Structure 1
Amino acid sequence: MSVVLPSLTTFDPETSSEGALDPLGLYLIADQLATRLVPAVRERMQRIRFLTAMAVGAIVTEEFEPSSVEESCAPWLVWEWLVVESLLRSPTIASELRGVPGTLVTKRALNSHKYLDDKSYLKTPRIFGFHGVYKRLAIHLGLVDVHMKPQAGAEELVLAWAHDQGWTNLRDANPVLDAWRTGVRRSLEAKPPRTHTYWNGDAWEQLAQSLKPDGAGKRERKVLSRLLLNTDHRALGALGDIWGLQESMDDESYCEEKMVEELKNRAPSLLPLLDAISFYEAFCRKLSDGFNVIRTEAAKADIRGLTVTDLGSDQAFESSAANLTDAFEAAYTSLQVIDNGLASQFDERFQRFSGLMPVEEVSIALCEHHEAIQKGKNDSGKRTWFDRLGGDRIYLRHQYRENVPGPQPDRLVHAYRGRPIRNFYKDLR
Structure 2
Amino acid sequence: MARIALSAVVVQEFSQLRSTDGTTRADIVLEWNVLESMVRHQRDELKLIPFPGSSKTARALAGGGRLSPTTYLRGPRVFGFTGVYRPYCVDTGVLDTHGDPGEAARDLVEAWEQDRDLYGFLHYDLSTEGGQLRRWIAISVESSLRAGESRVEKHTARAKELAQIVSTVGEGPRVRALLRAQLFETSHVLRKEAVELIDQLPATTDGAPDRSVAEAIRPGASDELARVLDAVTRFERLAVTMDNCFRSTLSTFRLITPEAIATDELLRDGASSIRRCADEAIAAVAAIDQIGTELSERVAELVAPVREATGPVQFFDGLVNRHLAVQQAKGKSPWITDLEEGWVPRQLYREQPEPRDVDGWMHPYRLSTLYSFVEGTR
Query: Normalised by the size of structure 2, how large is the TM-score?
Result: 0.80
**Percent of residue pairs identical:** 20
Partner of 1:19: none
Q: Which amino acid aligns with 1:271?
A: A
Counterpart for residue 87 of structure 1: 38
- Which residue in 2 is equivalent to 1:229? 184
Larger RCO (CA within 8 A; separation ≥ 6) = 1
Structure 1 gaps, min length 5: 1-50
1:11-410 matches, within 5 Å, as 51-62=1-12, 64=13, 66-67=15-16, 74-90=25-41, 95-96=46-47, 98-101=50-53, 104-105=56-57, 108=60, 112=64, 118=68, 122-127=72-77, 128-166=79-117, 174=125, 175-187=128-140, 188=142, 192-193=146-147, 201-213=156-168, 216-232=171-187, 236-241=191-196, 243-244=198-199, 246-247=201-202, 251=206, 254-269=208-223, 270-298=225-253, 301=254, 305-338=255-288, 339-355=292-308, 357-376=310-329, 378=330, 381-390=331-340, 393-406=342-355, 408-410=357-359
C-alpha RMSD over aligned residues: 3.6
Name the counterpart of 1:6.
none
| Amino acid of the structure 1 residue aligned with 2:39 | L
SS of residue matched to 1:236 = helix
* Whole-angstrom distance in 1 between the partners of 2:209 and 2:279: 27
- Take 1:117 and 1:296, find their aligned partners in 2: how far apart are those partners? 33
Give me the whole-angstrom Cα distance separating, in 1, the residues matched to 2:204 and 2:336.
41
TM-aligned CA deviation for residue 134 of structure 1:
3.7
Note closer, same or farther for the CA distance 1:342–1:398 as it changes in structure 2 (3 Å cut): same
- Please tell me whether the aligned partners of residues 209 and 215 of structure 1 are also in contact (alpha carbons under 8 angstroms): no
In 2, Cα distance between equivalents of 1:257 and 1:373: 26
- Contact kept? 2:218, 2:226, Cα under 8 Å: yes
Deviations 1:210-256 (A, max 9, x none): 2225762222112122222325458735531452354166638x444
Contact 2:32 2:68 in 1 (8 A): no
Number of aligned positions between the proteins: 366
CA distance in 2, matches of 1:371, 1:120: 27
Distance 1:245 1:369, change over 3 A: farther
Change in 2 beyond 3 A, CA 1:385/1:61:
closer
One-letter amino acid matched to 1:427? G
Contact 1:241 1:267 in 2 (8 A): no
Whether the 8 Å contact between 2:122 and 2:131 is mirrored in structure 1 is: no
Alignment deviations for residues 345-369 of structure 1 (CA, whole Å, 9 cap, x no partner): 1222221333251333222222222
The structure-2 alpha-carbon separation of the partners of 1:405 and 1:237, relative to structure 1 and needing over 3 Å to count, comes to: farther
Question: How far off is 1:287 after superposition?
Answer: 1.5
Change (3 A) 1:66 1:167: closer
Asked if structure 2 preserves the Cα contact closer than 8 Å seen for 1:246 and 1:422, the reply is: no
Equivalent-residue separation in structure 1 for 2:205 and 2:55 (angstroms): 28
Report the CA distance shift for 1:109/1:260 in structure 2 as closer, same or farther (over 3 A): closer
What do residues 199-218 of structure 1 show as CA deviations (whole Å, max 9, x unaligned)? 98222233322222576222
Whether the 8 Å contact between 2:41 and 2:160 is mirrored in structure 1 is yes
Q: Name the SS of the counterpart of 1:395 in structure 2.
A: strand
Shift of 1:335: 1.9
SS in 2 for 1:327: helix
Query: Displacement, 1:110?
Result: 9.0
Distance 1:131 1:101 in 2: 10
SS at match of 1:282: helix
Give ranges in structure 2 of 5+ residues lacking alignment.
none
CA distance in 2, matches of 1:176, 1:107: 33
| Aligned amino acid, residue 244 of structure 1 | D
The offset of 1:334, in angstroms, is 1.9
Q: Say whether residues 1:418 and 2:373 are aligned partners.
A: no
Letter in 2 for 1:149: D
Q: Verify the 8 A CA contact 1:242 1:263 in the aligned structure 2.
A: yes
Cα separation, 2, equivalents of 1:245 and 1:370: 42
Shift of 1:396: 1.5
Query: Which residue type is aligned with residue 86 of structure 2?
Result: K
SS in 1 for 2:310: coil
Higher mean alpha-carbon deviation, 315-324 vs 81-90, is at 81-90
String of CA shifts for 1:304-344, please: whole Å, max 9, x gaps: x1214433233332222223222222222222222111111
Q: For residue 57 of structure 1, report the CA deviation from its aligned partner.
A: 3.1
Asked whether the 8 Å contact 1:321–1:359 carries over to 2, the reply is yes
Residue 95 of structure 1: CA displacement?
5.0
- Classify 1:145/1:390 alpha carbon distance in 2 versus 1 (closer, same or farther; 3 Å): same
Q: Which amino acid aligns with 1:396?
A: P
State the 1:155 CA deviation.
Answer: 2.0
- 1:22 counterpart residue number: none
